[in-house]
Structure 1
Amino acid sequence: MPAFFRHCTLLLVLAHLLMIGGCAAPGQTRDEQRQNIRQTEREVLNALYQLKPDLRNDVARAPGYAVFSNVNVNLLLASASTGYGVAVSKSGERTYMKMGEVGVGLGLGIKDFRALFVFDSPEVMERFVERGWSFGGHADAAAKAQDKGVAVGGEVVVDGMRVYQLTESGIALQATLKGTKYWKDSELNFD
């Protein structure tokens, strides 16, 4: 690979790593951030329930679920995402979380999407909340105009949880290998 491309790739990866630090929910105060996350949670659940009505019963029966808001950026050979969300147990206990993702592979575009994780057992949910690490390959093609409806990715079953992706806006074409980290938001889980 020519030196120019190596330097560009290195700069892109460094820029993406810096972007991951900005994965806090919008809002100035903790209460505003929590309120924003709860609003996103309601919007995502309502949109998915309209598109997949049976999902409402699945979520109600599940030991818990998590909803995340995520912005993914792909530039040539590197990709990065930052996001925030909440995991909600059947008892109603809420754990606010952050997420970050880096990857390598061909891609170009920016995609703003929401994800719903439905846990198949309390142990899977606890592992997700406490350890929250996921790594895997991802192939995706989504193209959507801002005001042209919604695009829903198919259900993905992985490691005891079902994942649904709801694209809000953006255009992306990517085939990447990514590392994703989910972790507790230490600021939002304390009063």
Structure 2
Amino acid sequence: MKSKINVIAASILTLFLTIGLSTSYASNTNDDKKEKKMAKKRKSFQKNKSTALNEMYNAYPESKAKMANAYGYAAFGNTGVNLFVLSSGNGGGVAHNNATGEELYVKMISMGAGVGIGLKKYHAVFIFEDKEAYDYFLEVGWSADGQADATADTGKEGEGGSAAVGMNVSRGVTLYQIADKGLALQATLQGVKYIVAKDLNGMK
């Protein structure tokens, strides 16, 4: 009788250990997948930043001087069809503090379905003149709907047949946009919000 009880107890213990190990393995696997996904997105956002800066400098050589005197910048990009259709957003980039070298990942989120439909290439660079403007961008985020009524003019042609637009969108902030020629860039500005990506920056 005692032997049978011991066997049953051992079986139950083995079952709990198996369940515990399986749960732990599944949890670790999910964590690994999540981290790989975030690492991939960080790499994508870094690439967006580099491409956006190159696009801006090619279209606007004078922007180099403005950048040299800036406190910081935030550069974004995305390529493909229907860039901002998803409400969760599928574009992003990096905010860079020129004074400290610190960088933060920032998401572009569509505030309405259909924004930017048909746009195959879009890049944007915000240049911040001072700490106040830069900090406000990171702490509050930025959206044209709430902070500017900027009308983009696609009259200036940049590299690769793209239209390049630079405009003062709020105090201490200049925005350069480079997108497909012929598309009203205001449509890519209105309805899009830029906010710090807490998950990619390890924030809670």
TM-score (norm 2): 0.61
| Cα distance in 2, alignment partners of residues 93 and 163 from structure 1 | 20
Compare CA radii of gyration and give the structure with the larger one: 2
1:38/1:175 CA distance change after superposition, 3 Å? closer
1:140/1:94 CA distance change after superposition, 3 Å? same
Please state if 1:185 is matched with 2:185: no
Q: SS of 1:126's equivalent?
A: helix
Deviations 1:43-98 (A, max 9, x none): 2212221222221222122000001125245xxxxx99652111100121001011
List gaps (5 residues or longer) in structure 1. 1-26, 74-78, 143-147
- Are 2:151 and 2:186, in contact at CA under 8 Å, matched by a contact in 1? yes
Aligned to 1:153: 164
- The AA in structure 1 aligned to 2:202 is F
- Are 1:116 and 1:163, in contact at CA under 8 Å, matched by a contact in 2? yes
List gaps (5 residues or longer) in structure 2. 1-34
1:179/1:43 CA distance change after superposition, 3 Å? closer
**Equivalent residues, number:** 154
- Find 1:63's aligned residue among 41, 57, 71: 71
Deviations 1:90-119 (A, max 9, x none): 1210010112233599x9842131100000
- Structure 1 range deviating more: 44-53 or 86-95: 44-53
- Are 2:84 and 2:113, in contact at CA under 8 Å, matched by a contact in 1? no
After superposition, the CA RMSD in angstroms is 3.6
Q: Shift of the alpha carbon at 1:166?
A: 1.1
| Cα distance in 1, alignment partners of residues 59 and 142 from structure 2 | 29
Please state if 1:33 is matched with 2:26: no
Please state if 1:44 is matched with 2:56: no
Q: Percent identical across equivalent pairs?
A: 29
Relative to its length, the structure with more helix (as a share) is: 2
- Are 2:168 and 2:174, in contact at CA under 8 Å, matched by a contact in 1? yes
Aligned to 1:97: 106
| Cα distance in 2, alignment partners of residues 141 and 109 from structure 1 | 18
Q: SS of 1:110's equivalent?
A: coil
Q: Shift of the alpha carbon at 1:165?
A: 0.5
Aligned to 1:14: none
- The AA in structure 1 aligned to 2:198 is S
Relative to its length, the structure with more strand (as a share) is: 1
- The AA in structure 2 aligned to 1:182 is Y
